[in-house]
Structure 1
Amino acid sequence: MRRDALRDGLDDDGRRALRSAVRMEWATIAFLAVAIPVVGVVTGSSQAMRAAWVEDMLSLAPPLAFLVAVRVMARAANPRYPYGYFRSVGVAHLVAGVALFAMGSFLLVDSALTLVRGERPPIGSVEVFGQSVWLGWFMMAVMAATIPLPIWFGRVKMRLARQLHNKVLYADADMNKADWMTAVGSIVGVGGIGLGIWWADAAAAIFISGSILWDGVKNTKGAITDLMDTRATTFDDAKPHPDIDRIHDHLSSLRWVDEVRTRTRDQGQFFHVEAFVRPRKGRMPRLAEIEQAQAECRGLDWKMHDVVIVPVRTFPEIASARSGES
């Protein structure tokens, strides 16, 4: 296998999508490199602004995890790692999910305690060209400026995540959605302070923290189940992946096949398929027929990186005829 195994496994559209995804992640990092210090400067004593600032820093985790995973996945298989390094996507997904979960939990508890204690965060004024200007206006202006790009990033990454079947990219797209929702929440919280609603800031911080925590729970759960070899699902874990049925239907159409059962695991962007086929009576397939069937299965979708076809008399206890059957 060549060193560039990842790109060799992709079709032309997939290679273009991967290049676009890499560029998009670098653009996200560049945006956050500017946004994080600017938000930090105007944070003040606002609980919502502090939560938004931490959320921006956490937003670096998914793009960094994706870029590292892309490089690691491209390594060729070797005797120590005979299945290659494709699982690095799952590891990166888990790291990002745990980081979100841990920080979301901390911020949620901290924000809730602030609300319970009834702390009223002061927002002072600054001198601008000899005029006293409420600092809250700067806070809301900065957060408003951070809304458009995350919306665009999220939409593009969601499309690319679906095309590449990359769950780290999907997690990042989800994080971008949380970014702009967080910015809106912080604007509401700071505006509430300006209107004399002291609890609005803590309430907005709780909303932001809950969003971070929920992202952490979803992504940690998804990463763990993938690493435990759950049945392959779509990029958003919404349903069994349709390629499971495509493999089954193709093998069932072969003249020498009587019945088929499959087990498909998601190795992080690529699938490993074990297809158990019961030959028709008196029709034991030749080696050339099995090899041809393997090649045809891999040709159904570039994600079918590794297909193993095993002729059997009886099927393993847990293997599916169709994605809806156990």
Structure 2
Amino acid sequence: MNTKPASTDNDNNHWPAKRRVTVVGALWNLLLSVGKIAAGIVGQSQALVVDGVHSFSDLISDAVVLIAARWSSIDPDHNHPYGHGRIETLATAVVGLLLVGVALAFVWDAITRLLNPERLLRPGWLALAAAVASVVIKEGLYHYTRAVALRTNSRLIAANAWHHRSDAFSSLVVIVGIVGVISGLAWFDALAAIVVAGMVGWMGGQFVLQAMAELVDTGVPVREQKELGGIIQSVDGVRSYRNLRTRRMAGRIVMDVCVLLDPQIPLAEADRVAASVRRRLLDESTEVTDVVVSIAPHCDSGTSARS
């Protein structure tokens, strides 16, 4: 039976889309970082300068995504018989850690400014215009990148989409700070920075936890296992199943299962049923990309399906 991961062709087909969205994001990050730092210096906004540095961190993220997405699409080899999807998982953890690091930096800066009122920012209209432009561009990049992530089923690209949104949030903090200064609330930008940093840090932490769960081969939830079991039981000739095992690789499900068949059926028929089980799982599940199916005789003594 052919056990080559069905995700290989999809990964190769998705690579151009992943590369294109990452390169587009990197070019915009380069332009935004240079523009915001220049506008921050001229417009007397330390927040905008820091925001420009944040955009440079996105460039690092883009480089990680581009390299990891390419490696994860390489065909399985003798050293990596299950493919290279875990490279994408590891890179997702790196992007998540970057998000957490950026969030902590925002919190530290905001608290420092609150404790030292003389350091509260006094940005001008040029800084406001640059920050508004950054929010619009980065939010557009978020939606574009997220759409590609959904189409390619890539958590790595999804993580990078949220990194774009984190940059939009940081620019939003600059806008709130300017409006606060104009309204006489010079401390308001620091408070907003803490709130937004908490949102960014939470999202980054989620990506890290999801990636770590994959790296330690955490199985899918019981509800999903039951759904997979229902697909298996729906195949003609299957009496039951056992030893259903699952794990995730780059956001996809890799699984193996032993199906229990009538002990009297010919071996060729048993092999056909096993092949039907594999095909139905791949066809009916949007997440399963590789299945190894073994067969065993069903005992009338009451062997029941179990995971």
TM-score (norm 1): 0.76
- Give the C-alpha shift of residue 176 in structure 1: 2.6
Q: Distance in 2 between matches of 1:269 and 1:215?
A: 16
Whether 2:194 is the aligned partner of 1:224: answer no
Q: Equivalent residues in 2 for 1:19-38 (5 A)?
A: 19-38=16-35
Q: Secondary structure at the match of 1:306?
A: strand
Partner of 1:148: 136
Q: Distance in 2 between matches of 1:199 and 1:173?
A: 30
Q: Secondary structure at the match of 1:87?
A: helix
Q: Equivalent residues in 2 for 1:98-113 (5 A)?
A: 98-113=97-112
Q: 1:304 aligns with which of 288, 294, 298?
A: 288
Instruction: Indicate conservation of the 8 Å contact 2:245/2:255, yes or no.
Output: yes
- Give the C-alpha shift of residue 142 in structure 1: 0.5
Q: Secondary structure at the match of 2:85?
A: coil
5+ residue gaps, structure 2, are: 299-304
Q: Equivalent residues in 2 for 1:1-326 (5 A)?
A: 8-9=9-10, 15=13, 18-44=15-41, 46=45, 48-121=47-120, 123=122, 136-232=124-220, 247-261=228-242, 262-280=244-262, 282-283=264-265, 286-300=270-284, 303-312=287-296
Q: Distance in 1 between matches of 2:173 and 2:102?
A: 18
Instruction: Indicate conservation of the 8 Å contact 1:69/1:89, yes or no.
Output: yes
Q: Distance in 2 between matches of 1:117 and 1:107?
A: 15
Q: Which shifted more, 63-72 or 83-92?
A: 63-72
5+ residue gaps, structure 1, are: 124-134, 234-238, 315-320
- Give the C-alpha shift of residue 287 in structure 1: 3.1
Q: Which shifted more, 99-108 or 301-310?
A: 301-310
Instruction: Indicate conservation of the 8 Å contact 1:51/1:107, yes or no.
Output: no
Q: Deviations over 1:225-269 (max 9, x none)?
A: 121222348xxxxx966xx56643332122332223532221114
Aligned-pair identity (%): 21
Q: Deviations over 1:104-126 (max 9, x none)?
A: 22331232122123334364xxx
Output the amino acid matched with 2:59: L
Output the amino acid matched with 2:187: W
TM-score (norm 2): 0.80
Aligned-pair RMSD on alpha carbons? 3.2
- Give the C-alpha shift of residue 46 in structure 1: 4.3
Q: Distance in 2 between matches of 1:58 and 1:143?
A: 17
Instruction: Indicate conservation of the 8 Å contact 1:232/1:265, yes or no.
Output: yes
Q: Distance in 2 between matches of 1:50 and 1:200?
A: 18
Q: Distance in 2 between matches of 1:245 and 1:173?
A: 32
Instruction: Indicate conservation of the 8 Å contact 2:238/2:273, yes or no.
Output: no
Q: Distance in 1 between matches of 2:8 and 2:239?
A: 36
Q: Which shifted more, 148-157 or 284-293?
A: 284-293
Instruction: Indicate conservation of the 8 Å contact 2:55/2:167, yes or no.
Output: yes
Q: Secondary structure at the match of 2:120?
A: coil
- Give the C-alpha shift of residue 61 in structure 1: 4.3
Q: Which shifted more, 18-27 or 76-85?
A: 18-27
More helix per residue: 2
- Give the C-alpha shift of residue 143 in structure 1: 0.8
Instruction: Indicate conservation of the 8 Å contact 2:114/2:187, yes or no.
Output: yes
Q: Deviations over 1:267-322 (max 9, x none)?
A: 114431112322246457533432343344334457533211123579xxxxxx79
Q: Deviations over 1:38-79 (max 9, x none)?
A: 111233464543453343233334433332122102323222
Partner of 2:301: none
Instruction: Indicate conservation of the 8 Å contact 2:33/2:56, yes or no.
Output: yes
- Give the C-alpha shift of residue 36 in structure 1: 0.4
Q: Distance in 2 between matches of 1:302 and 1:275?
A: 18
